[in-house]
Structure 1
Amino acid sequence: MQGLKRAQTLMGRRWAIIGMLIVLAAVLMLRSLGNNTIGYPDADRILMDGVFMADVMRDMPLGAPWGYAQAYFVQYPALSIGYRPPFFPAVEGLFNIIFGINMWSSRLALFAFVVTGLCYWVKLIEQVADRRVAAWSGALWVSTPFLAQWGWYTMAELAVLGMTIAAIYYLYRWVETERLTDAFLMAVFIGLAGWSKQTAAFLALVVVGYLLARGKLLWAVRRPGHWGAFALLLVLAVPLALMTIAFGDQNIHQSVGQGDADSVSRWSLANWGIHLKTLAEMHLTLPVLILAGAGLIVAGVKRQRQAVLPLVAVVSIFVFFSLLMGKNPRYPIFWIPFWCFFATLPLALADLRRGLKVAYQGALIVIVAFQAYSLYQREPAFVSGYDQAAKIAVREANTTGIFIDAFNNGYFTYFVRQADKDRSHYVFRGDKLLSSSSISTQHWLEVHMTKAEEIRKAFDDLAVSIVVVESINYAEVPIHDILRQMLEGPGFERIATIDIASNRVMSSVTDMPRFEDQQLYIYRYLNAKSEMSGEITLRLPVVGQEVSRSFEKNDKDR
C-alpha cells in the first residue's frame, strides 16, 4: 500500500511525470548511442547537414553564404539542406560543436526535441484532461515501437513532433485564455516545426479545425492583435515556401504533384485507406489500437469535451497526409500521441469507479512493458565498414581527391569529414559524376560518361588518388561496371578489402542486393595527379539544380 501511495504521489507531480517519461524515452530511443554503424537511408544526409551547420557557425561566411554552400557541397557532396529545412541541422550543429562530430552528439540533439515534446505534452494533456492521462498517454507514445525507433537515427520526424506538440499546446492556451502572447508563441513553434520539415504544414489544418470546432474562427480573424501573430507566421513560412519551390523538385513531385506512375489517385478510395491500414498494421500495437478505438467511442458517447483538440489533430493529420502523394509510413507519425491520448482518456471519466481506474492503469503498465520489450526485440538497421573505409581513404590519400562509388556514399562522406580534421580532402561521388538520378537509381536517370578514358580523365582533373567502391554495381548502369573493370587493370592497386556486415538491403526497390552480400574495395590510383584542375559539375535532380566549381592549380581552398 505504501508503494502504491508513493506512486500516486509521484503521478500527481508534473516534474516527476516528465522525469519518468524522459528516462523511459532515453532507455528506448538512445539505445546503442555510441554505435556508429547504425544507419538509415536519408539519415546520413541529415547527419552531414548538421556538420555543415557546425562548419558554418565556425566559419561565419556572411559575405558569400551561397558560394560557401556550393563549394562545401562540391567538397562533401552529401548535403540535403535546401531540399530539407535547416532548423534541426542547426541544433545538431551546435551539439557537434560542443561534443564533436560524431553520431551520438547528433542523436542527442534529436533527443532534445523529444524532451521538449514530452514537456509540452504533459502540460497540454493535464489541461485538456488531467495529469493521469498526460502521464499514461505519454508513456504509451514514447514506448510505441514504430515511433521510438526513429530516435535511433537522425531523421527529422521526432524533431517535428516536438515542435508540433509545443505549437498545439500554445494553440490550446490561446483559445482558452485568449492571451495574445500564446498566439505569437503558437506562430513561432509552427514556424520552427516547418523549418524542421515541410510536412509540418498540416498544423494549418489543426489551427483552422480547432478554431472552427470551438466556434472561434471569426474571433481569431476579427481581433486586430491576432494579425501580428499571423504576420509573424507568414514571415516564417514564406522563405520556407520559396526555398522549397527553388530546391524541392522531388519534394513537390512526391507531395503536391502527381507522384510516380504506380501512385494511386489521391481521390480514390484506396488512397484514403492507406494510412488507416498503416495505423492498424504499423503505427499502433494491437492493445493500444483496441484501447484507442474504445476511448474514441466512449468520448463520443459521453460527449467528452477533452476529445475535441486531439480529434481535430487526428483528422487534420489524416486528411493532410492522405492528400500528399508520398505514402511513406513514417510521414503521418504525428498522430500516434493523439491516438495514445484516446487510449488513456477513460481515466478522465468522473464516473469511472476507483477500482476500474486502478485496473486500467495496471493494464497500461503491462502494455508499456510489452511495447518496450517489443522495441528491444527489433534490431536497429546497421551497416559496418564505411567508417573504416573512410579512415583508410583519408590516411592513404596523398592528394586531395577521394572517389566513392557506393550506395552508402552519404555515410562514407560523413565519416571522411569526421576523419578529415583540417578539411583538406574532396569526396567525389560516382552517382554524380558517372551518372545521376533522384531517390532511386532509374528515376530521372542521366548518364554522364560512357568510357573508361572519361573516368580516368576525371580522376586526373580532380587529383583522385584513392578510389572506394562497393563490389556490386547497385546502379545497374554500365558505366559503373566499366569503372570496376578499370580499377582491376593497370594503373590501380587494391590496397584494402573490407567485409560489410549489415541487416539492411540497399533499397526497398525489388531485387536490390543486401549490403552483407558484398565488400568494399579500396584502390590506389598509381598515376594520380598532385593538383586539381579543370571544372566539375554535379547534377542534383532531387532539387533540379546543378553545382559547378572550377579548379586552378594549387587550389585547395573552398
Structure 2
Amino acid sequence: MPHPDAMPIIAGRERLLAWALVLLSLALLFAQAPHGGAFYWSDAPRHALNGVFVMDLIKAMPLDDPAGYAYRYYAQYPALTILFYPPLFYAISAPFYAVFGVSHETALLVVALHYLALGLGCWRLARFWLPAAPSLAFAVLVLWLPEVAFWGRQVMLEVPAFAFVVWSAVAVMAYLRGGPVRWLYLGAALLVLGMYTKISVAYMGVVYAALIAQRDGWAVLRNHHHWWVAALAVVGLVPLAVLTLKFGQANVQSVTGVADAVASRASWQGWVWYLQQIPAQVGWPLVALALVGAALAAWRRLPGLGLWWLGFAVGYLFFSSIDLKEARHSVFLLPSVVFFALLALQTLSPARLQTWALGVLVLATASLTAWARPVYFVDGYARAAAEVARLAPRGSTVMFSGYRDGSFVFNLRAREDRRDLHVMRADKLLLGVAVRRELGVEQKGLTEAEIADAINANGVHYVVMQPGFWIDLQAMQRFERVMTSAQFEEVARIATPANHKAHETELVIYRNKGQVAERPQGKEIELKIINRRIPAS
C-alpha cells in the first residue's frame, strides 16, 4: 500500500484503461436496464417527470407566477414531486430532454452519465491507497455491486448523489495529502451539490471535518480557510433547508418516526438492520474478504484509512438513526466494504496471482448481479398511454386508478402530440392518502352515483384502471362497480408483463358514455404530502 501521505502518480495508459473498463461496465449494465416506459419503483417516473417539468418551466418562463405554473402542471400531471426532493438532478436532466426528447431512455442517459462519473471517481479515490490494478478493480466492483446496479439502472437519485460524494472525497483527500486549499473548497462544493441531489449524503461533512481535525489538531480552528469553507457551505444549503422545511415534511417525518418502520430506531433491531442487508447488497465473497481485511487493518494498525473507517461508521450511525429504513439508503457505505475486501486480497494473495484473483472477484460479483439481482420492470404503461392518446377527445381528462400512477403519467407526458390531455387520479377523488397508504388513508364516502357524477363533472372521457387496486377499501369497491355499470364501456385490456411478482397483471381502459361536462376550471386538489390545497387549473 502506498505511503499514507503520498499523492498518487497516474500514468496515461492507466487513465485510458480506467475509462475503457468503466465504459465497458456501463455498456453491459445498461444493456439490461428496463426502458420504454417500463418503470418499476414508484419514485422513478416521478424523478423522470420532475426533470421534464424543469424543461417545460424554462420554456414557458412564467416569471409572473412560477408557483402557479407548478400547481397547474401538477394538476395536469399529478405525479410531480419537484419540491419534495432536492432539485439538482432535475435541473441536469432538463437540457437532455430538450435535446433528445422526453423519454424513459433520455432519463436513463442522465443516470448513466452519473454512473460514469461514479466509476471514474471510485478508481481515482482508491488510487490514494491502492496500486493501479486493485484501484481499477475497486471501481468496477462498486459499479457491479448488486445494490448499486439494481438502483443505478433506474431513474433514482442514489447513483447521481453517489457520484458527487465520491468526487468530493477525491478532492478532500487531495487536500489532506498536501494539495492546495482549493481542493478543500472543491470538495465542499461537490458535497453541497450531492446534498442538492439527495440530502442524506450530508453525513460525509462530519467525516471530512473529523479527518481534517485529526491531521491538524487544534490548529484546524486557526485556519481561516476552514471557516470560509464551512460558512460558504452553510450559505449554499440555506435554499435547500427552506425547501425541505416548507415542502419536505414527509422526509422530516421519516427521520423522526414512521408508523410502518421495518425496525424502529428505538429497538436493537433498528441498529443492526443495515448490517443484515450487506450480504445481499454486495455478495458473500466480498463480505468475507472485507471482514478479513478490516481485521488485518485493525491488527496491523495501518495508518491513513480514516476515510474508510469513519465513512462507514458515521454513515451507519446516521442511517440507523433514521426510522424509515430501506436497503438502498445505505449504498454509500458499500465502498468501505469493497475497499477492505481488496485490502485483504492484496495482503494475502501472492503477487503473481493478484491480477487473476482480482479478475475472479470482479467476475463473481458481476455474475451475481446479472443473474441474481436483475432490475425489475413492469411494462404496458406506455401502450396504455398511447391507446388513450389515440382515443381521447382534445382537452379532455383521463382518469387513472392504479398503483403505478407515476408510470402512466410520465408516459402520457412523453406523448408530445397530446399535451392537451389532463390526468386525474381516482385516489384523489375517492381517498385522502398521507404520502403512502401505510401512513394513513381516509375514505371520502362517495356513493356510486356520486362517483359517476363526479367523473362526468371533471370532464373524464376515458378511465384507465388496474383491476383489484386497493379493493379492500369500500370506496375502491364502489369505484369498480361504477366501471362495470351501463355508463362505462370497456374498450381495451392491456397486459402489464413484469419480471417479478408485481401488483398488477393488466390495465383496463373504459369509455365514459355519460353526459361528460367540459373540464372544470379552478377546482382544488388536496396535496397531503405538503399539507396544502392547490387550484386544479
Aligned to 2:134: 133
CA contact (8 A) 1:292 1:341 kept: yes
Aligned positions of 1:286-325 closer than 5 A: 286-325=284-323
Note the alpha carbon deviations across 1:27-57, whole angstroms, 9 max, x for none.
1244246443242221121111122122123
Aligned positions of 1:173-188 closer than 5 A: 173-177=174-178, 179-188=180-189
Alignment partner of 1:444 out of 419, 422, 440 = 440
> Aligned-pair distance for 1:439?
4.5
Aligned to 1:233: 233
CA contact (8 A) 1:114 1:158 kept: yes
Give secondary structure in 2 for the equivalent of 1:288. helix
Give secondary structure in 2 for the equivalent of 1:313. helix
User: Percent identity at matched positions?
Assistant: 24
Q: Is 1:495 matched with 2:475?
A: no
Q: How far apart are the structure 1 equivalents of 2:263 and 2:366?
A: 35
Aligned to 2:465: 469
Aligned to 1:245: 245
Give secondary structure in 2 for the equivalent of 1:407. coil
Note the alpha carbon deviations across 1:138-195, whole angstroms, 9 max, x for none.
1221121221122321111011110110111122122223633122211211111111
CA contact (8 A) 2:18 2:120 kept: no
Give secondary structure in 2 for the equivalent of 1:471. coil
Give secondary structure in 2 for the equivalent of 1:515. coil
Q: How far apart are the structure 2 equivalents of 1:348 and 1:366?
A: 13
Return the TM-score normalized by structure 2.
0.92
Given residue 97 of structure 1, which amino acid in structure 2 is its aligned partner? A
Given residue 421 of structure 1, which amino acid in structure 2 is its aligned partner? D
Aligned positions of 1:186-265 closer than 5 A: 186-212=187-213, 214-216=214-216, 218-255=218-255, 257-260=256-259, 264-265=263-264
CA separation of 1:372 and 1:230: change in aligned 2, threshold 3 A:
same
Aligned to 2:330: 332
Q: Is 1:418 matched with 2:414?
A: yes
Aligned to 1:555: none
Of 332-341 and 538-547, more deviation after overlay is shown by 538-547
Given residue 267 of structure 2, which amino acid in structure 1 is its aligned partner? S
Give secondary structure in 1 for the equivalent of 2:414. helix
Aligned positions of 1:44-193 closer than 5 A: 44-177=45-178, 179-193=180-194
> Aligned-pair distance for 1:505?
4.2
CA separation of 1:176 and 1:442: change in aligned 2, threshold 3 A:
closer
Aligned to 2:4: none
Q: How far apart are the structure 1 equivalents of 2:12 and 2:287?
A: 24
Q: Is 1:434 matched with 2:433?
A: no
CA contact (8 A) 2:34 2:376 kept: no
CA separation of 1:169 and 1:306: change in aligned 2, threshold 3 A:
same
Note the alpha carbon deviations across 1:330-382, whole angstroms, 9 max, x for none.
10111112211111124666xx7xx7123233122112112222222144312
Note the alpha carbon deviations across 1:489-541, whole angstroms, 9 max, x for none.
122221111222223445xxxxxxx322xx31111112353522254332222
Aligned to 1:529: 516
CA contact (8 A) 1:137 1:343 kept: no
> Aligned-pair distance for 1:302?
2.6
Aligned positions of 1:511-522 closer than 5 A: 514-516=503-505, 519-522=506-509
Give secondary structure in 1 for the equivalent of 2:536. strand
Give secondary structure in 1 for the equivalent of 2:489. strand
CA contact (8 A) 1:74 1:549 kept: yes
Aligned to 1:268: 267
CA contact (8 A) 2:263 2:273 kept: no
Alignment partner of 2:361 out of 334, 358, 367 = 367
Note the alpha carbon deviations across 1:222-265, whole angstroms, 9 max, x for none.
2223332222211221211221111122211111x122265544
Aligned to 1:388: 383
Given residue 316 of structure 1, which amino acid in structure 2 is its aligned partner? V
> Aligned-pair distance for 1:428?
0.3
Give secondary structure in 2 for the equivalent of 1:332. helix
Given residue 437 of structure 1, which amino acid in structure 2 is its aligned partner? V
Give secondary structure in 1 for the equivalent of 2:340. helix
Aligned to 1:39: 40
CA contact (8 A) 2:52 2:97 kept: yes
> Aligned-pair distance for 1:545?
3.0
CA contact (8 A) 2:141 2:362 kept: yes
CA separation of 1:322 and 1:515: change in aligned 2, threshold 3 A:
same
> Aligned-pair distance for 1:14?
2.3
Given residue 540 of structure 1, which amino acid in structure 2 is its aligned partner? L
Given residue 371 of structure 1, which amino acid in structure 2 is its aligned partner? T
CA separation of 1:357 and 1:148: change in aligned 2, threshold 3 A:
farther
CA contact (8 A) 2:33 2:154 kept: no
CA separation of 1:285 and 1:261: change in aligned 2, threshold 3 A:
closer
Return the TM-score normalized by structure 1.
0.88
Give secondary structure in 2 for the equivalent of 1:183. helix
Give secondary structure in 1 for the equivalent of 2:127. helix
Given residue 239 of structure 1, which amino acid in structure 2 is its aligned partner? P
Q: How far apart are the structure 1 equivalents of 2:304 and 2:30?
A: 29
Structure 1: runs of 5 or more not aligned: 1-8, 507-513, 551-558
CA separation of 1:75 and 1:315: change in aligned 2, threshold 3 A:
same
CA separation of 1:150 and 1:396: change in aligned 2, threshold 3 A:
same
CA contact (8 A) 2:86 2:198 kept: yes
CA separation of 1:31 and 1:499: change in aligned 2, threshold 3 A:
closer
Give secondary structure in 2 for the equivalent of 1:474. coil
Aligned to 2:5: none
Give secondary structure in 1 for the equivalent of 2:42. coil
> Aligned-pair distance for 1:67?
1.1
CA separation of 1:158 and 1:528: change in aligned 2, threshold 3 A:
farther
CA contact (8 A) 1:129 1:306 kept: no
Alignment partner of 2:528 out of 529, 541, 544 = 541
Given residue 359 of structure 1, which amino acid in structure 2 is its aligned partner? L
Aligned to 1:23: 24
Give secondary structure in 2 for the equivalent of 1:473. coil
Q: How far apart are the structure 1 equivalents of 2:47 and 2:217?
A: 38
> Aligned-pair distance for 1:217?
5.7
Q: How far apart are the structure 1 equivalents of 2:471 and 2:216?
A: 55
Q: How far apart are the structure 1 equivalents of 2:272 and 2:226?
A: 37
CA contact (8 A) 2:492 2:510 kept: yes
Q: How far apart are the structure 1 equivalents of 2:194 and 2:295?
A: 31
Note the alpha carbon deviations across 1:367-407, whole angstroms, 9 max, x for none.
21122222221443121221111111122111421111111
Given residue 328 of structure 2, which amino acid in structure 1 is its aligned partner? R
Of 393-402 and 176-185, more deviation after overlay is shown by 176-185
CA separation of 1:358 and 1:307: change in aligned 2, threshold 3 A:
farther
Aligned to 1:407: 403
CA separation of 1:189 and 1:421: change in aligned 2, threshold 3 A:
farther
CA separation of 1:24 and 1:79: change in aligned 2, threshold 3 A:
same
Aligned to 2:283: 285
Q: How far apart are the structure 1 equivalents of 2:193 and 2:215?
A: 27
Structure 2: runs of 5 or more not aligned: 1-9
Given residue 229 of structure 2, which amino acid in structure 1 is its aligned partner? A
Given residue 321 of structure 1, which amino acid in structure 2 is its aligned partner? F
CA separation of 1:373 and 1:531: change in aligned 2, threshold 3 A:
same
> Aligned-pair distance for 1:274?
0.9
CA contact (8 A) 1:75 1:427 kept: yes
Give secondary structure in 2 for the equivalent of 1:412. helix
CA separation of 1:374 and 1:178: change in aligned 2, threshold 3 A:
closer
Give secondary structure in 1 for the equivalent of 2:524. strand
CA separation of 1:286 and 1:79: change in aligned 2, threshold 3 A:
same
CA separation of 1:499 and 1:178: change in aligned 2, threshold 3 A:
closer
Aligned length: 526
CA contact (8 A) 1:401 1:462 kept: yes
CA contact (8 A) 1:441 1:475 kept: no
Give secondary structure in 1 for the equivalent of 2:305. helix
Of 264-273 and 190-199, more deviation after overlay is shown by 264-273
